[in-house]
Structure 1
Amino acid sequence: MGRRYLSLALLTEGASDQWFLVPLIDRQITELALEAPVGFDYSGVDVGECFTVAHRDLVACQVTDLLCYYDIVMIHHDHNERGKVDAIRDRFPDDAHRIVALVPVRETEAWMLADPAALKEAAPTRDAAWEVPHDVEKAADPKAVLKAALGGRRDAERDFGRLGQTVALDALRKVPAYRAWTAELRRAMERLHFL
């Protein structure tokens, strides 16, 4: 059996989530590819046309389209919206295994805090007077901590994108919600015979 091509689409709550998650997902898939017995080709995650905060029927319509062309569709929500991912899966019982939930506790920004060295690299001129909590998922306001860490800079697209490229995957594996996401992604890839 020859190499296969993995296609993956992502729907997020907003653009800032995409800036961080797209490079992060690509890095995680590259790492998982090392476990594949035959290997597979992957050119990167594609982003859907709507955000998951849109009306649920619109999101379901987008998922319908994406499932026609992609092996896996990832749906991102913050933890308080987890039920929306389950509601979408319920609409696609035959393909529910191809819909992967990407749900940080509280907000995606908590994952950006997991690697203090990457944060310092993202804002090298910033005085390191801020403190990252040991358990980033317990941060009451991850956005405020991240803003302080980055010095309140307004170039979130560049900063979030850089963090997505540099935050250590080993540091993220210490975050329970990240482990849950990678476990679900691994199960989907195994069921589709990529791993």
Structure 2
Amino acid sequence: MIYLRAGLFAEGPSDYQFLCPLLDRLIDTLAASLFAGGYELGATMGIDAPQGMSGGRAEKIAAAVAEHAELCELFVIHEDGGGDHEAARRTCIDPGLAAARAAQTGRDVIGVACIPVREIEAWMLADPEPFRTVLGKSATPSLPQDPERETDPKATLRRILKEGGARRTESIHAIFGERVGVDALRSLPAFQRFENELSDALQKVATVQRRRP
């Protein structure tokens, strides 16, 4: 039996609201194909460094991992890409995971980079179905053909919701995280990259657990 629980280190509250339920669904989908039902899934945990801690992002990632190392089998580190995936990974995520691994000697720290091209809201623009939950079943939101080309996905999301008559445009990230279609997300290259890396990480988790006495 493979036990799976992810710890998510994200940029802000709305990112946690969207990504935690999405990760639960995505990990379950991947694990079902990888482990033929022989797995148990724990709910994704939002993790952070201790409040008031000094240091940069790498130190905070390492501290968050250390605090939750006994509770999570893998760690997902979210960073908005700002239009440059490689730079976001090189300057933000890789140093954080390297610091976490250096601090956790004798333990396998399995990490995954979650980097939307600009902002996570681009992933919320990939599927009309969650909009119908918010705006009504007959809603026909005009979504961009290529959400990852949006220079300001947050503004695009707010505009579509406002035009559709939404009474609120904040605090809806959890609804989208619970309902956005994985197949729709797979049309986005950044999500494809994330899903492939997550799949590899789950197999590493399984390898680590199977070799334990």
Output the TM-score relative to the length of structure 2.
0.79
Q: CA deviation at 1:155?
A: 5.4
Q: Helix, strand or coil: the match of 2:69?
A: helix
In structure 2, runs of 5+ residues without a counterpart are: 83-87, 208-213
**1:79 equivalent in structure 2:** 81
**1:10 equivalent in structure 2:** 8
**2:211 equivalent in structure 1:** none
Describe the superposition over 1:96-140 as per-residue Cα deviations: whole angstroms up to 9, x where unpaired: 860111111100000000002322322229975x63111110011
Question: Which one has a bigger Cα radius of gyration?
Answer: 2
Asked if the contact 1:116–1:132 (Cα under 8 Å) also holds between the matched residues in 2, the reply is yes
1:176 aligned onto 2:175: no
4+ long deviations beyond 3 Å: 93-97, 125-128, 152-155
1:121 aligned onto 2:120: no
Q: Give the counterpart of 2:98 among 90, 102, 125.
A: 90
Q: CA deviation at 1:173?
A: 0.6
Q: CA deviation at 1:153?
A: 4.3
Asked if the contact 1:4–1:41 (Cα under 8 Å) also holds between the matched residues in 2, the reply is yes
**Could you tell me how far apart the structure 2 residues matched to 1:73 and 1:131 are?**
35
Asked if the contact 2:10–2:78 (Cα under 8 Å) also holds between the matched residues in 1, the reply is yes
Q: Give the counterpart of 1:136 among 131, 142, 147.
A: 147
Corresponding pairs, count: 189
The alignment yields a C-alpha RMSD, in angstroms, of: 2.6
**1:44 equivalent in structure 2:** 43
**Counterpart residue type for residue 103 of structure 1:** I
**Counterpart residue type for residue 186 of structure 1:** S
**1:166 equivalent in structure 2:** 179
Q: CA deviation at 1:142?
A: 0.5
Percentage of identical aligned residues: 32
Asked if the contact 1:66–1:73 (Cα under 8 Å) also holds between the matched residues in 2, the reply is no
Q: Give the counterpart of 2:204 among 184, 191, 195.
A: 191
- Change in CA separation of 1:84 and 1:124 when aligned onto 2, cut-off 3 Å: same
**Could you tell me how far apart the structure 1 residues matched to 2:119 and 2:181 are?**
18
**Could you tell me how far apart the structure 2 residues matched to 1:104 and 1:179 are?**
10
**Could you tell me how far apart the structure 1 residues matched to 2:160 and 2:36 are?**
41
In structure 1, runs of 5+ residues without a counterpart are: none
**Could you tell me how far apart the structure 1 residues matched to 2:109 and 2:193 are?**
15
- Change in CA separation of 1:70 and 1:117 when aligned onto 2, cut-off 3 Å: closer
Q: CA deviation at 1:189?
A: 0.9
Once the two structures are overlaid, the 10-residue window that deviates more, 9-18 or 75-84, is 75-84
Once the two structures are overlaid, the 10-residue window that deviates more, 7-16 or 73-82, is 73-82
1:154 aligned onto 2:168: yes
Output the TM-score relative to the length of structure 1.
0.85
